[in-house]
Structure 1
């Protein structure tokens, strides 16, 4: 069964309910609107940390409706599991894969790599946590960025290792 555009829009709006206090705390009124052209293409949260609006893709007539967050970064309360990867965007207005990749390797290391463009070849890690361990219980299995802004690797045995 195919979803109708109205159903998808309803689900999108429903997913924004947690952000209503942010919107109501600013100068956004019930008659406010967003458009893909002009100065009202996004609404900024009172803290300036989040924006909700339209973002043009690759200088085309294609727009992305999104909630954006402070930089290209792992978000608070986000967990990156073994084998997971985050990648930077290509440029300020091009959201395709960029030149940096953050990998949480299957061995339990966190590595930041520069990507050769246009070949997509990974250079040797620019940074490595060097937390892999041959003893599987001592090896990392997830990277956590908690609400207190601590970033650490959780080991299989439950221990936590701060990044240094």
Structure 2
């Protein structure tokens, strides 16, 4: 009897260790995550961030990144809000195209759209960045370079980067507001009444010809610099220690850019607290002070 129990343990323990290693390790080439109640997300080493499927309703799932160690599991990045994944859908790491999301019938819902060789693994980092990399750890793709509605500490946005609001609080399809660092260096916020018509901006830094990079630093400040790293514009100025608080800055569905913090302490019942917000009149009064003919 003892030998039989020992034999069962010898079989089960490696399986359990393997599952834990996959949950907190890398997603290797050919492996996948499945949209169902039993599948675990891919966690960062600290366990603070997770990549996987979030259930959005009966039989519908969103491929996303979220804060794992807080009760709200707040989503900071997602890709298929316009085409939610049915139960049983899979996201797989492929050799040439990177991540490919398919439904149970094999219909492609989304892909990272890579044309790369040498891809070896995907990893959820402790910064909240999700990367695809080669065996020599050269990144081919990352979520920080392709933000949705949220940016995180250590994240940087280069020219032509776009942050786009979701449609509504629990609707992750594309919304009507965009935060964009234009190729001309101007950082602007504007509304899109229809997919083909762009309105005037309702906020801008007025840094046309100078702006180069938007930075969210580890002290909780969001600011714009020129090519030489010189500070041009402070978008937010609050200093918040990342060792004590989780942080995020989000372009919300109402078109307002806000910064939030959440205590990292264990068993904290606190929610997200807003520390900074752009304030706009309602309805929005579009601004024309900054070179009105050259927003786009």
TM-score, scaled to structure 1 = 0.60
Q: Which has the higher strand share?
A: 2
2:169 is aligned with 1:92: yes
Larger radius of gyration: 2
For residues 1-150 of structure 1, what are the structure 2 equivalents within 5 Å? 4=30, 7-9=31-33, 15-20=42-47, 45-46=69-70, 48=72, 50=74, 62=86, 72-117=149-194, 119-133=195-209, 139-150=210-221
Identify if the C-alpha distance between structure 1 residues 129 and 47 changes in structure 2 by more than 3 Å, giving closer, same or farther.
farther
Which blocks of at least 5 consecutive residues in structure 1 are unaligned?
24-33, 134-138
Which blocks of at least 5 consecutive residues in structure 2 are unaligned?
1-28, 34-38, 91-123, 129-148, 236-296
Q: Which has the higher helix share?
A: 1
**Offset, 1:94:** 2.6
Q: Which stretch shows the higher mean deviation, 108-117 or 42-51?
A: 42-51
Give the Cα separation in 2 of the matches to 1:162 and 1:43: 29
**Offset, 1:18:** 2.7
Alignment partner of 2:215: what SS? strand
On the 8 A contact 1:131/1:140 being kept in 2, the answer is: yes
Alignment partner of 2:228: what SS? coil
Give the Cα separation in 2 of the matches to 1:61 and 1:15: 18
The number of residues matched between the two structures is: 134
On the 8 A contact 1:82/1:104 being kept in 2, the answer is: yes
TM-score, scaled to structure 2 = 0.36
Higher relative contact order (CA 8 A, sep 6+): 1
On the 8 A contact 1:45/1:51 being kept in 2, the answer is: no
